[in-house]
Amino acid sequence: ETGVTQTPRHLVMGMTNKKSLKCEQHLGHNAMYWYKQSAKKPLELMFVYNFKEQTENNSVPSRFSPECPNSSHLFLHLHTLQPEDSALYLCASSPEPHNEQFFGPGTRLTVL
Amino acid sequence: AQTVTQSQPEMSVQEAETVTLSCTYDTSESDYYLFWYKQPPSRQMILVIRQEAYKQQNATENRFSVNFQKAAKSFSLKISDSQLGDAAMYFCAYSRLKGGADGLTFGKGTHLIIQP
């Protein structure tokens, strides 16, 4: 398997559910990222991890909780989300910070 | 804070013709990277081309080339011999060269339509 993979590809959840998004990169990169893409808005950076250490939390609400157990895996834990959190969530990785990033296919999240 | 502006929400071009997508950015940094990404209907973000700000030569990748004007903070993408597979959203993005891992700052995108 190559590149950046994300599971699930589609997720529908209620506001009281708890779910997790998974990202895995097979590129040997050291930095991983979560982005949110909403309709008619630019991609928004959510979290950055470099060598498993979180280096940026871009004022994201606490109902989103990231986890990076190793440099190949990145999770986004979701709980008590709001309908406005419905969006495409993209994971990306790069060899090191500031290089070009390689993106996964995204998870389409719908919060009912 | 850095900002990236794409002033063309949508562009249309005939197949085999040339089209130019505009991007301007604002930064106080002297060294940085600029990128163009393509997002087809599959939603997979694909890197098209990359430019290092310290390089004066414009980057080129096959039919894709950029016009990088550092003083004007302009970074346009030219697509030559447009093909149906080029139809997608195109995003201009900025990255710092130094400092913490800030991620990419994206513009709002340009929707490119290819007319057969």
- Say if the Cβ atoms of B101 and A98 lie within 8 Å: yes
pLDDT at A64 > cutoff 80: yes
- Say if the Cβ atoms of A42 and B108 lie within 8 Å: yes
Strand partners, A67: A75
CA distance B22 to A40: 18
For A59-78, what is the mean pLDDT?
93
- What is the distance in angstroms between the Cα of A25 and the nearest Cα belonging to chain B? 15
pLDDT one-digit tens code per residue, B42-53: 889 999 999 999
For A47-52, what is the mean pLDDT?
84
Quick one: what percent of chain A has pLDDT higher than 70? 98
A105: chain B residues, CB-CB within 8 Å = 42-44
Best mean pLDDT range from A1-10, A72-81, A90-99, B92-101: A72-81
Q: What is the DSSP string of A80-106?
A: S--GGG-EEEEEEEESSTTS--EE---
Q: Which of A42, A55, A106 sits opposite B101 (nearest CB)?
A: A55
Sign of CA dihedral B115, B84, B44, A112: positive
pLDDT at A1 > cutoff 70: no
- What is the distance in angstroms between the Cα of A105 and the nearest Cα belonging to chain B? 5
Query: Hey, is the C-beta of B1 within 8 angstroms of any chain A C-beta?
Result: no
For A63-82, what is the mean pLDDT?
94
Query: Hey, is the C-beta of B113 within 8 angstroms of any chain A C-beta?
Result: no
- pLDDT score, position A2: 66
- What is the distance in angstroms between the Cα of A62 and the nearest Cα belonging to chain B? 19
Q: Which of A23, A98, A101 to mutate: most B Cβ within 10 Å?
A: A98
- pLDDT score, position B100: 59
Residue B86 is classified by DSSP as G
pLDDT one-digit tens code per residue, B12-55: 999 999 999 999 999 988 889 999 999 999 889 999 999 999 98
- pLDDT score, position A42: 83
User: Of how many residues is chain A composed?
Assistant: 112
Query: Hey, is the C-beta of B111 within 8 angstroms of any chain A C-beta?
Result: no
pLDDT at A17 > cutoff 70: yes
* Average pLDDT value for chain A: 90
Q: Establish, for the pair of chains A and B, how many residue pairs have beta carbons separated by less than 8 Å.
A: 65
Token reading at B32: 């940085």
Higher per-residue confidence, B97 vs B60? B60
Q: Which of residues 45-64 of B touch A (CB under 8 A)?
A: 45-47, 50
* Average pLDDT value for chain B: 93
- What is the distance in angstroms between the Cα of B102 and the nearest Cα belonging to chain A? 7
Least trusted range by pLDDT, from A25-39, A47-61, A95-109, B76-90? A47-61
B98: chain A residues, CB-CB within 8 Å = 98
Phi, psi of A85 (to 5 degrees): -85, -5
C-alpha Rg value of chain B to the nearest Å: 14
